[in-house]
Amino acid sequence: ETIMTQSPATLSVSAGERATLSCRASQSVSRNLAWYQQKPGQAPRLLIYGASTRATGIPARFSGSASGTEFTLTISSLQPEDFAVYYCQQYNNWPPVTFGQGTKVEIK
Amino acid sequence: HLQLQESGPGLVRPSETLSLTCTVSGGSISSSPYYWGWIRQPPGKGLEWIGSIYSSENTYDNPSLKSRVTLSIDKSKNQFSLKLNSVTAADTAVYYCARHGARGYSYVDYWGQGTLVTVSS
């Protein structure tokens, strides 16, 4: 099973600031990595797939990058609606598909 | 616009079988090359993939669930279903049905709203 490790667990950021979230895979997942945003009481929403491709309707302030088994989600200027929990997911080595444990982005 | 909706009991007794159905609207469940899956989230915790089905002959489930999972699909009704047997309190979670692509494209692009299933006597 491919273990996905996200850091930090919680990120405190002010609105308008940049947020950088990390996700590390325990083995190669190529670029088969997705990011999701989840708000309380809602299903997750796809933000990024293929490590760096924005899903339909996702604002340009969200970007993804990859370097080996390290992946990064950057939110360039946090908006009030961006405070949420973010999950990474690998879909290269399945079954099973695996998710990171999540990073909560909270208001500083 | 594709929509997925979970349905099933919200309370299941320990040792019994959890049964959920996902009804797909706004598109055909026969659309290729999509898989239809289940993902769960215990209260306050992260996401766990349960399993996915493409056809009755093409299913995958999470080894961590120790073969307790049965997946089925009814293309005539545009539905797919999950059965999880021998449940315990650890199976209490919000259960989401979802659509994802085939290998190399297996990110989830559509989710149901989720349904809370509590395992308790």
Q: What is the mean pLDDT of residues B102-120?
A: 95
**pLDDT tens, residue by residue, B71-106:** 999 999 999 999 999 999 999 999 999 999 988 899
Residue B114 touches chain A, beta carbons under 8 Å: yes
SS3 content of chain A, % helix, strand, coil (to 5): 5, 50, 50
In B, which residues are within 8 Å of A49 by CB distance? Answer: 105, 107
CA-nearest residue to B108 within chain A is A46
- Are residues B106 and A55, on separate chains, in Cβ contact within 8 Å? no
pLDDT tens readout for residues A85-106: 999 999 999 899 999 999 999 9
Residue B29 in this model has a pLDDT that exceeds 90: yes
The amino acid at residue A44 is P
Task: Say if CB A34 and CB A91 are below 8 A apart.
Answer: yes
Instruction: Judge: A102–B48 Cβ closer than 8 Å, yes or no.
Output: no
Which amino acid would we find at residue A35? W
